[in-house]
C-alpha cells in the first residue's frame, strides 16, 4: 500500500506538472502582444520578403548598388535593363543573355565602339538612358556562314605568305609614294584604342583620292566616303579585313576590306592610324569571326 501510495503521489505530481505547462502555454497565447508572437511574425515576414525578392530579381539583386538604366537594342527589338554601374561588360553580356537568349560569346555589344568586357560601365562612362546596340546571330547561323569563310580566309593568308610584302607591290607603291597626307589623323604606335566618336579621315584610297571611314554602329554599317560619293556597306557582308604596317611608317597601316569572295573585291585604305586597327577589325568582323 505504501508503494501504491507512492505511485499515486508520483502520478499526481506528473499531472500537476503537465497542468502547469498547459497553464504557461495558455498564458503565452492569451498574452496578445507578447514578444514570442511578435518575433514569430517578424521571422515569417522576413522569409516572405526574401522569397519575394528572389522571384522578382531572378536571384540577382542590385539592392544598395548604384545602377544605370539602359536601352538594349537587338534584332529590331528594344529591352529596358537596370544594371549596377560597377558591373563589367561581361556582366552586361550575361544580363543581355537573360533578356534575349543570345549567348554572350555570340554577342557584339557596342557603345561608342565595341564594348570591352573587362571594364566597368562606370569606367566606360555609360550614362543613364544610354542605348546599347547588340549584334549577333544564333550558333547555327554563324556556323553556316563562317565555315566556308574560315576556309577562304586560310587560303587568302596562305597566298599572301607567298608574295612580297604588300607595301612593296607596285599597285600600292603608286599610292604610298605620294607620302603621308598632311591632314592625316595622329597615330600612336604600340597602343590599342577604341574607335573615336568622329570619322577616321585624311586617308587615301587605291586611286590616291581622300577617303574617310564612318562606323554607323546603330545600323551595323561601315560608310566609306570620298569626295564623289559615300558607300554604305553592311558590316556582315565584309568577308575579311587585311592589314599591314607601312614600311618606314609602322605607326600607320594599309588596310583592305574584302567586300566579295575574292581579292579582287578588296577596298584599300592607306595611312590608317595603328592604334585603331584592332578596334576596326573587332567592330567590323566581331570577336567570334576568324581573322
Residue 199 DSSP SS3: coil
**What domains lie within the chain, and their CATH numbers?**
67-143 (3.10.20.90), 166-285 (2.30.29.30)
d(Cα 147, Cα 79) in Å, to the nearest integer? 31
Region for residue 65 given its phi and psi (left: phi exceeds 0; alpha: psi -120 to 50; beta: otherwise):
beta
Q: Which pLDDT belongs to residue 1?
A: 45
Taking only the tens of pLDDT, the chain with its 291 residues reads 444 444 444 444 444 444 444 443 333 334 444 444 444 545 555 544 444 333 333 335 556 688 999 999 988 889 999 999 999 999 999 999 888 888 888 888 998 888 898 999 999 899 999 999 998 875 655 555 555 555 556 666 656 555 667 888 888 999 999 999 999 999 988 889 988 889 999 999 999 999 999 999 888 899 999 999 999 999 889 999 999 999 999 999 999 999 988 888 999 999 999 999 999 998 888 754 333
Give whole-number Cα distances, 52 to 22, 55, 58, 213, 257, in Å: 37, 5, 10, 51, 53
> Which residues neighbour 111 within 8 Å (Cβ) at sequence distance 6 or greater?
124, 126, 130, 131, 132, 133
Question: Taking a C-beta distance cutoff of 8 angstroms, is the pair 147, 112 a contact?
Answer: no
From the list 276, 235, 74, 236, the residue with the least C-alpha distance to 146 is 236
Give the pLDDT confidence of 88-143 residue by residue, as tens digits: 999 999 999 888 888 888 888 998 888 898 999 999 899 999 999 998 875 655 55
pLDDT for residue 155: 61
pTM: 0.47
Euclidean distance between CA atoms 232 and 215, whole angstroms: 10
Give the end-to-end CA distance of the chain in Å, rounded to a whole number: 104
**What is the C-alpha to C-alpha distance for residues 8 and 105, in angstroms, rounded to an integer?**
81
Q: Whole-angstrom Cα distance, residue 96 to residue 80?
A: 10
Amino acid at each position: 500500500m505504501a508503494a501504491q501510495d507512492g505511485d499515486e503521489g508520483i502520478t499526481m505530481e506528473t499531472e500537476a506538472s503537465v497542468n502547469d505547462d498547459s497553464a504557461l502555454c495558455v498564458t503565452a497565447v492569451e498574452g496578445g502582444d507578447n514578444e514570442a508572437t511578435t518575433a514569430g511574425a517578424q521571422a515569417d515576414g522576413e522569409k516572405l520578403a526574401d522569397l519575394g525578392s528572389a522571384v522578382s530579381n531572378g536571384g540577382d539583386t542590385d539592392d544598395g548598388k548604384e545602377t544605370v538604366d539602359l536601352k538594349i537594342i537587338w534584332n529590331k527589338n528594344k529591352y529596358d535593363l537596370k544594371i549596377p554601374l560597377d558591373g563589367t561588360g561581361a556582366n552586361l553580356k550575361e544580363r543581355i543573355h537573360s533578356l534575349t537568349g543570345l549567348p554572350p560569346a555570340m554577342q557584339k555589344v557596342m557603345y561608342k565602339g565595341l564594348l570591352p568586357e573587362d571594364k566597368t560601365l562606370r569606367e566606360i562612362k555609360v550614362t543613364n538612358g544610354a542605348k546599347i546596340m547588340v549584334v549577333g546571330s544564333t550558333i547555327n547561323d554563324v556556323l553556316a556562314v563562317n565555315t566556308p569563310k574560315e576556309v577562304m580566309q586560310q587560303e587568302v593568308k596562305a597566298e599572301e605568305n607567298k608574295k612580297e610584302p604588300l607595301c612593296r607591290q607596285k599597285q600600292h607603291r603608286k599610292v604610298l609614294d605620294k607620302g603621308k597626307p598632311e591632314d592625316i589623323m595622329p597615330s600612336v604606335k604600340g597602343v590599342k584604342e577604341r574607335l573615336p566618336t568622329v570619322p577616321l579621315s585624311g586617308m587615301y584610297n587605291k586611286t590616291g583620292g581622300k577617303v574617310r571611314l564612318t562606323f554607323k554602329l546603330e545600323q551595323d554599317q561601315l560608310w566609306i566616303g570620298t569626295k564623289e560619293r559615300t558607300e554604305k556597306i553592311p558590316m556582315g557582308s565584309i568577308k575579311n579585313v587585311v592589314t599591314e604596317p607601312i614600311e618606314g611608317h609602322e605607326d600607320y597601316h594599309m588596310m583592305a576590306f574584302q567586300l566579295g569572295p575574292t581579292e579582287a573585291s578588296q577596298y584599300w585604305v592607306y595611312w590608317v592610324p595603328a592604334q585603331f586597327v584592332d578596334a576596326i577589325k573587332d567592330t567590323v568582323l566581331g570577336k567570334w569571326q576568324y581573322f
